[in-house]
Amino acid sequence: MNGPLIRRSEDIEYETVDAANGLEKGVLIGEESGGGNLAIRRFTLAPGGNVPKHTNEIEHEQYVLAGRYTVGIEAEEYDVEAGDSLHIPAGAVHWYRNDGDEPGVFLCAVPTGDDEITLQG
């Protein structure tokens, strides 16, 4: 069992997600920083940005911090905004699109370990 862990905002490194357009990711807490069974990541989707259809082997849950954007999960589209929460089941086809003028910012919690991401055609 891991002990307590505090990470300061200035210690988080953000990187561009290559498979997406206008998406940045920072791992707030994860295995590499000494976290436990969960990882918390922070994403920013720029205005006009999008993430193509894809699946993850693991489930994930998200909390929208700022902005408004559209999330597709399977055959449904959802407009989400600050304060909304989402659950995306393992294996569900999903995607993101930000048609607004402000960045969409969200937290994403996932179990640690391997996660195979598969882009959909």
Per-residue pLDDT of the chain (121 residues; tens, 9 = 90+): 467 889 999 999 999 999 899 999 999 998 878 788 889 999 999 999 999 999 999 999 999 999 999 999 999 999 999 999 999 999 999 999 999 999 999 999 998 877 777 778 6
Q: How many domains does the chain have?
A: 1
Alpha-carbon distances of 4 from 1, 42, 109, rounded to whole Å: 10, 20, 18
Q: Residue 6: inside a domain, yes or no?
A: no
Residue 12 resides in a domain: no
Q: Give the start-end residues of each E strand in the chain.
A: 14-16, 21-29, 38-56, 60-66, 68-73, 76-81, 85-88, 94-97, 104-111, 117-119
Show the domain range for 43: 18-119
CATH number at residue 26: 2.60.120.10
d(CA 83, CA 25): 19
In this structure, is residue 10 part of a structural domain?
A: no
Residue 4 placed within a domain: no
Task: Report yes or no on 99 lying in a domain.
Answer: yes
Give the total residue count for the chain.
121
